[in-house]
Amino acid sequence: MPHAYVTLIASLPHLPHFTRAERLPISRKRLRERLGMLHPEDFELVQRASQFLAWQRQPVARSDADMVAAYRKLHVLIEHPSLWPLFEFPINVRTVMAALRRRQRGLPRPQRGEPWAVGPWVDRLPRHWEHPDFHLTAVFPWIPQAREYLTAGAALELERFLMDLIWQHVERVAPGYEFSLQTVLAYIFKWDMVQLWLARNAAAASQRFEELVTGVLHDFGPIFA
Amino acid sequence: MEPFILGLGWLGVFSPLALGAVGSIIGCARAGQAACGAILETEGGYGRYIGVSAMPSSQVIYGIVVMLSLNRLFSLETAPGLFAIGFLVGLALMFGAVYQGYCCASAITVAKTKSEAFGISLAPAAIVEGFCVFAFVFALVLARSLPGGGG
């Protein structure tokens, strides 16, 4: 338990589950300031984690080949004992979902060497292309549910379901009551998920905006009255 | 061989205090760091964080008491017994304080987020304290049974 983690983790506010969060409990700027407590080598791992999180948010216009190429550059950086257990699962989720989407669109089975996805399952999935769940339900029991959402076109439910899977995974790998670098990285990961969810939740964003505007107008109201 | 055995006796006499102090230093430092982190994030209730962070200091007090109970004119007959009791209780106190520091740091993190769970979050630290008290009390009991211990 290196010393820097204890103060840092104790100084981070509680992150509620992304579906229950009404706002970010800590701003990006303040989070970055707090991360300044880390040793330089740990901070460098945080930077790598940020690169991974950025990779996950590729623009829609970017092709699969570009994604794979970007991942190959990133892979060397995230294959670290502190990072890989956290990031392997989201990568697998992404790969399986890519396979499900591809099959749903009626695209052919990926050819060997074709840059269609990343991660350790990328070669195995095409081998079981005909099976609805790729014979992987023992490893990924969530595939049937995700497939149902995808077939039904329930995009929001699917997104919530997948994000919740990843959230649970991150909490399992690095519980919040521990004081380790992984807990710090897990916090950043979850913070990013909360931010992403809030940004997508237009209703909550609109309500927050209304509150802010009302607060400002209320303060200045008497001046103009 | 004689000086070595007598040296072990001295080691046994001072171990409870020294090892207990090492444990308390580490435990209080860790819990104190968590308290400082919590202070950064919260608006009040700082006193209880600092209070909890001082919990692992009890082991050094137990160490002082055991050391005083072991301190006597000792001989080749008593030195091995003093070493065994003193060194082992010292180890127990040291590890107890270190791990109590972990428990206190976690309790502070919990209390910061969920103040109503403050009391229950201290239970693990209290349980660790209980084991230290066992080691402390039975070290005193055994010290009395050694020659020159009044038992």
> Worst-scoring range by mean pLDDT, A74-78, A121-125, B6-10?
A74-78
Domain count, chain B: 1
What's the mean pLDDT in A69-78? 76
pLDDT recorded at residue B108: 92
Domain count, chain A: 1
User: What are the residues whose beta carbons fall under 8 Å from the beta carbon of A158, sequence distance 6 or more?
Assistant: A146, A149, A150
Percent of chain A having pLDDT more than 70? Answer: 87
pLDDT recorded at residue A177: 76
Q: Can you give the CATH number for the domain in which B46 is found?
A: 1.20.120.610
In chain B, residues with a C-beta closer than 8 Å to the C-beta of A176 are 109
Task: Tell me whether residue B124 is in a domain.
Answer: yes
Higher per-residue pLDDT: A62 or B38: B38
Distance (Å) of CA A198 to CA A29, A57, B130: 17, 15, 46
Count of CB atoms within 10 A of residue B87's CB?
Answer: 18
Q: Is B110 on the interface with A (CB under 8 A)?
A: yes
In chain B, residues with a C-beta closer than 8 Å to the C-beta of A11 are 36-38, 40-41
pLDDT tops 70 at residue A215: no
Higher per-residue pLDDT: B77 or A73: B77
pLDDT recorded at residue B63: 97
Task: Tell me whether residue B151 is in a domain.
Answer: no
ipTM of predicted assembly, 2 dp: 0.71
User: How far is Cα B72 from Cα B69, in angstroms, rounded to an integer?
Assistant: 8
User: B99 to chain A: nearest residue by CA?
Assistant: A1
pLDDT tops 70 at residue B120: yes
Alpha helices, DSSP H, located in A105-200: 124-127, 143-152, 155-173, 181-200
Task: Tell me whether residue B150 is in a domain.
Answer: no
pLDDT recorded at residue A196: 87
Range of the domain at B86: 2-145
Range of the domain at A118: 3-224
At residue A180's C-alpha, the angle toward residues A89 and A40, to 5°, is: 100
Higher per-residue pLDDT: B97 or A20: B97
pLDDT tops 60 at residue A224: no
Asked if the Cβ–Cβ distance from B37 to A11 is below 8 Å, we say yes
Query: Chain-wide mean pLDDT for chain A?
Result: 83
> Worst-scoring range by mean pLDDT, A64-68, A169-173, A188-192, B21-25?
A64-68
* Cβ–Cβ < 8 Å for B78, B12: no
Q: What is the pLDDT of residues B37-85, one digit of tens each?
A: 899 888 888 898 999 999 999 999 999 999 999 988 778 888 999 999 9
